[in-house]
């Protein structure tokens, strides 16, 4: 068979599919999401041992905390799964689970976790006194210009609720997890962030800064999704 008309046809069909996607109604998109959520929920059966059925994760004092995934942006979550897979985010707990998923399955589980409501964090207890919490709040909201530490909110958005697909929500995330990530950027085991944006900030922070922002952020509530 002559290949040319065939590839030409499939090109046309591809273009038609693109047009279709562009004009697809919100109802059709919602249906697509519903199907992805269903598939993602099944694929997530192996994840909830750590990330929990409500996607809230768990803080493990003295151990490796499991992050909350509930309500987090889908594209951010997929980027992280790919980073575990390719090793730019080097983590022994997540590597095997990222290897189990292909790109489509990653998107399905990400859509599923994104669809879960934010867990309530109003009663979270943290390892910090008032002075340390105040220091944390100052760094998150205003930064420390003398040390070139840009405020966290300038990228993570008002209330640190996240902005778009690149800047994740970090309000109400687990204290131990936030601290661990900042240390991972310092020691270079996490280096998948665009343009070293987080690495260059983390390397300017000392242990007290890290403890302070982690504790303060953990006590905030995740409230909004873009």
Q: Contact residues for ligand HEC (CB under 6 A)? A: 46-47, 49-51, 64, 66-67, 69, 72, 77, 79-81, 89, 91, 93-94, 97, 101, 109, 139, 149-150, 152, 154-156, 166-168, 170, 173, 178, 180-181, 192-194, 197-198, 201, 213
- How far from the centroid of its chain's Cα atoms is residue 181's Cα? 12
Q: Decide: helix, strand or coil at residue 3.
A: helix
Looking at beta carbons only, is 7 or 70 nearer to ligand HEC?
70
Cβ 9 to ligand HEC, closest distance in Å?
37
Where do we find the tokens 């493990």? Answer: 60
Looking at beta carbons only, is 6 or 148 nearer to ligand HEC?
148
Cβ 44 to ligand HEC, closest distance in Å?
6
The residues near 89 (Cβ < 8 Å, ≥ 6 apart) are: 80, 83, 184, 189, 190, 191, 192
| Distance from the first to the final alpha carbon of the chain | 50
Looking at beta carbons only, is 59 or 80 nearer to ligand HEC?
80
Cβ 133 to ligand HEC, closest distance in Å?
14
Cβ 123 to ligand HEC, closest distance in Å?
21
Cβ 27 to ligand HEC, closest distance in Å?
28
Q: CA–CA separation, 55 vs 72, rounded Å?
A: 10
**Diameter of the chain measured on Cα atoms:** 76
Surface-to-core class of residue 209, CB atoms within 10 Å of its CB (0-12 exposed, 13-18 middle, 19+ buried) = buried
Q: Are 69 and 77 in contact (CB under 8 A)?
A: yes
Looking at beta carbons only, is 76 or 122 nearer to ligand HEC?
76
Looking at beta carbons only, is 80 or 115 nearer to ligand HEC?
80
């Amino acid at each position: 068979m002559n290949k040319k008309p065939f590839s030409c046809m499939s090109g046309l069909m591809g273009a038609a599919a693109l047009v279709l996607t562009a004009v697809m109604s919100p109802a059709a998109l919602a249906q697509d999401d519903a199907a992805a959520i269903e598939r993602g929920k099944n694929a997530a059966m192996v994840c909830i041992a750590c990330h929990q059925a409500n996607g809230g994760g768990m803080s493990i004092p003295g151990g490796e905390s499991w992050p909350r995934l509930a309500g987090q942006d889908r594209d951010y979550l997929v980027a992280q799964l790919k980073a575990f897979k390719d090793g730019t985010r080097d983590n022994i707990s997540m590597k095997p689970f990222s290897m189990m998923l292909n790109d489509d399955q990653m998107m399905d589980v990400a859509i599923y976790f994104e669809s879960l409501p934010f867990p309530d964090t109003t009663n979270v207890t943290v390892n910090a006194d008032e002075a340390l919490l105040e220091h944390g709040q100052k760094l998150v909201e205003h930064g420390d210009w003398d040390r070139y530490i840009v405020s966290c909110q300038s990228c993570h958005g008002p209330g640190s609720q996240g902005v778009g697909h690149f800047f994740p929500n970090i309000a109400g995330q687990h204290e131990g997890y936030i601290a661990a990530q900042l240390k991972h950027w310092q020691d270079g085991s996490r280096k998948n962030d665009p343009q070293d944006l987080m690495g260059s900030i983390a390397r300017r922070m000392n242990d007290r800064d890290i403890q302070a922002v982690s504790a303060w952020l953990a006590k905030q509530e995740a409230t909004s999704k873009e």
